[in-house]
Amino acid sequence: MGLKGTPKLENRIIDMKPGESGYTVPWALAFDLEETPYLNLDYSIHKNPGGTVQMRVERTGSGKSDYNVDISNAGYFKWSVEEAPFSGVVGKRDDLIARLTWDESEMDATLTKLFKDVKE
């Protein structure tokens, strides 16, 4: 017996080409204790938002951390901080987790909003 037909495989963040954008779930993003953002590149990416798939991701270059992530449409999702974000990732964790940097113009306001409830 063999496989007949063509399977529909998920597109992952890691498979995006520079200039492509799409949407993923907010829990594809995590923060460490210093509030540094990390993106799990193994999550699915979709062409359109829908349901919990509301966080826009844009691939800006060919480097591992060359992504812009827009969390403004993440709804009521609240991120917690972790000592080692995505520490349970199986396989080549270093290949699948991208350390991102903050857009300085939005960093202060966003951090205040995201972590207000966590720190109280």
Identify the CA nearest to 30 among candidates 87, 95, 107.
87
Along the 120 residues of the chain, how does pLDDT read in single tens digits?
687 777 777 899 999 999 999 999 999 999 999 989 999 999 999 999 999 999 999 999 999 999 999 998 887 888 989 998 988 876 677 788 999 887 766 555 555 555 555 544
Distances (CA, A) of 50 to 9, 29, 32: 18, 17, 27
- Whether pTM exceeds 0.85: no
Domain ranges of the chain: 13-119
